[in-house]
């Protein structure tokens, strides 16, 4: 979970807010099923204009088991949560967004278990927190539950826009002319490390009309690999993260897929292997 703040110091829009420089907003939305059999995406727009708060959220569900359920549950929960806690959002947006996403995660997991049990599965929670399933009254091995959702939120509070994201759905700030700078962003922190020190990007002061305002968690990003390694390394190999970072390869077990990075023996440096076989997403990552 990442937090980014962007201020509106260069704006000229008027608003009913008491601030001399606050956002004035109009909102809209759209979605498309893409190439899948069902649309697993969901989104929401929540406003509280009296408090000067507008929250946009997008959830990109994935996985054959519960992808749609994850996105739909996340949307419903977050809308209810923000409606009940709107004062906290206005007074402490950082803590409020963090708590909202943590509680949302728990609600999605609860709904997974409820839905799987209803469909005839026995469900068990692994000691590390993820769910396993198998058919009731069977000797079948326990299997992972396939599915989940990313969640990216942009919260406009007064004249500051906060973003919080779990996963890789990007938030992008755009303008009609090149008046934006990356240096207008402040990377506040990462929930996994408690600090942005090791992953804070080098920001450009060049004027542009488009700025990505969510932190990037691409599997080919060096700082992401290093962040995961420092957060939790493998028990048998401190030079690599416990979470395997691999290129997708159809027909292969994920554990046997080619790794994205090769680590030097001293553990101080690592290189991208570029062993991907096909484009996997719009960032042209394998």
SS3 279: coil
Per the structure block, which two tokens stand in for 103?
């509680």
The closest of 95, 104, 101, 121 to 189, measured between CA atoms, is: 95
Question: Is the pLDDT at 194 greater than 80, yes or no?
Answer: no
Q: For residue 251, what pLDDT is reported?
A: 78
What pLDDT band is residue 20 in, cutting at 50, 70 and 90?
Answer: very low
More confidently predicted of 28 and 263: 263
Burial of 284 (0-12, 13-18, 19+ CB in 10 A): exposed
Q: For residue 201, what pLDDT is reported?
A: 66
Mean pLDDT of all residues in 257-278: 85
CB 55 within 8 A of CB 153: yes
Q: For residue 213, what pLDDT is reported?
A: 87
What pLDDT band is residue 262 in, cutting at 50, 70 and 90?
Answer: very high
More confidently predicted of 198 and 34: 34
The model's pLDDT over 101-146, given as tens digits with 9 standing for 90+, comes to 999 999 999 999 999 999 999 999 999 888 999 987 777 889 989 8
Question: Is the pLDDT at 21 greater than 80, yes or no?
Answer: no
Please report, for residues 2, 26, 81, 237, the alpha-carbon distance to residue 101 in angstroms, rounded to integers and kept in the order given.
Answer: 11, 25, 10, 31
Question: Is the pLDDT at 24 greater than 70, yes or no?
Answer: no
Mean pLDDT comparison of 115-119, 195-199, 251-255, 268-272, highest-scoring range: 115-119
More confidently predicted of 227 and 7: 227
Q: For residue 16, what pLDDT is reported?
A: 31
Give percent of the chain with pLDDT exceeding 70. 83
What are the residue ranges spanned by the domains of the chain?
2-212, 222-272
Cβ count within 10 A of residue 75: 21
Q: For residue 278, what pLDDT is reported?
A: 67
Give percent of the chain with pLDDT exceeding 90. 36
CATH number of 2-212: 3.60.40
What is the C-alpha to C-alpha distance for residues 208 and 81, in angstroms, rounded to an integer? 35
Q: For residue 282, what pLDDT is reported?
A: 67
Mean pLDDT of all residues in 184-202: 66
Question: Is the pLDDT at 196 greater than 60, yes or no?
Answer: no
The model's pLDDT over 56-67, given as tens digits with 9 standing for 90+, comes to 999 999 887 899
Lowest-confidence region among 51-55, 190-194, 221-225 = 190-194
What pLDDT band is residue 10 in, cutting at 50, 70 and 90?
Answer: very low
What is the C-alpha to C-alpha distance for residues 225 and 228, in angstroms, rounded to an integer? 5
More confidently predicted of 169 and 35: 169
Q: For residue 248, what pLDDT is reported?
A: 81
């Amino acid at each position: 979970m990442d937090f980014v703040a962007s201020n509106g110091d260069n704006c000229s829009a008027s608003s009913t807010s008491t601030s001399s420089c606050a956002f004035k907003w109009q909102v809209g939305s759209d979605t498309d099923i893409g190439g899948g059999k069902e649309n697993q995406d969901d989104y929401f727009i929540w406003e509280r204009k009296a408090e000067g708060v507008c929250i946009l959220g997008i959830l990109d569900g994935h996985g054959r088991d519960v992808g749609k359920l994850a996105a739909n549950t996340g949307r419903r929960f977050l809308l209810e949560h923000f409606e009940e806690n709107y004062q906290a959002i206005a007074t402490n947006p950082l803590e409020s967004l963090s708590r909202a996403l943590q509680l949302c995660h728990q609600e999605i997991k609860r709904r997974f278990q409820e839905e799987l049990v209803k469909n005839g599965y026995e469900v068990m929670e692994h000691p590390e927190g993820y769910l396993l399933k198998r058919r009731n009254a069977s000797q079948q091995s326990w299997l992972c539950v396939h599915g989940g959702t990313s969640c990216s939120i942009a919260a406009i509070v007064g004249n500051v826009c906060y973003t919080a994201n779990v996963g890789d759905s990007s938030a992008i700030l755009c303008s009609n002319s090149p008046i934006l700078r990356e240096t207008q962003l402040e990377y506040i922190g990462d929930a996994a490390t408690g600090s942005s020190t090791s992953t804070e990007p080098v920001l450009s002061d060049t004027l542009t009309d488009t700025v990505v305002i969510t932190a990037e968690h691409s599997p080919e990003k060096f700082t992401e690999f290093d962040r995961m390694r420092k957060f939790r390394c493998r028990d048998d190999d401190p030079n690599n993260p416990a979470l395997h970072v691999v290129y997708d390869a159809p027909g292969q077990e994920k554990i046997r897929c080619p790794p994205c990075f090769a680590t030097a023996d001293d553990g101080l440096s690592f290189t991208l292997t570029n062993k991907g076989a096909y484009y996997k997403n719009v960032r042209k990552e394998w």
